[in-house]
Amino acid sequence: MPLYTKRGWFTVELPDGWEAEEDEGVVVLHHPDRSGALHVSAQTLENRKPGDRIDVFLALRGYLRGIGVKMRDRDADRFTTDEHEFACHEQVTQEQGEGPTLWRTWFVTNQDVLAMLTYNCPEKDRDVERHETDRVVRSLRLTTVR
């Protein structure tokens, strides 16, 4: 799979046919013939004392609460790969004038950088890119500041 690098922030593996576009600091990853899009943004974790750790599950819960979404445990998960910690949440929303939309959100950290990834598509297409999207998310490698 080809690699996409946002210099100084992260690298991800792109499935065949996927494209990457950058818009105002957010990278949008998508297949041009499909309805879903994965948005990736990142920020440096600054002003922390040595040994301070961010809990991505609590950070994700706080973010969702801030946008009016109640995070139910059955719709959320956490996992770790290599030096990265992941928290994820999935929900379906009903937008006025549109059909149901699937939203998947991940917070990922290596304790130097925090990334937020969101994927959305029509709910009817919820499983069309699920495997590919999961592979992209798991391939994420954040830059280490140390």
DSSP track, 19-57: EEEEETTEEEEE-TTSS-EEEEEEEE--S--TT----HH
Q: Would you say residue 97 has pLDDT above 90?
A: no
Q: Would you say residue 5 has pLDDT above 90?
A: yes
Q: How confident is the model at residue 45, as a pLDDT?
A: 86
Handedness of CA 133, 95, 35, 5 (dihedral sign): negative
CATH numbers and ranges of domains, the chain: 3-142 (3.40.1000.10)
- How much is the pTM? 0.91
Q: How confident is the model at residue 8, as a pLDDT?
A: 86
| pLDDT tens per residue, range 6-62 | 988 999 999 999 999 998 889 999 999 999 999 999 998 888 777 789 999 999 999
Terminal C-alpha separation, the chain: 28
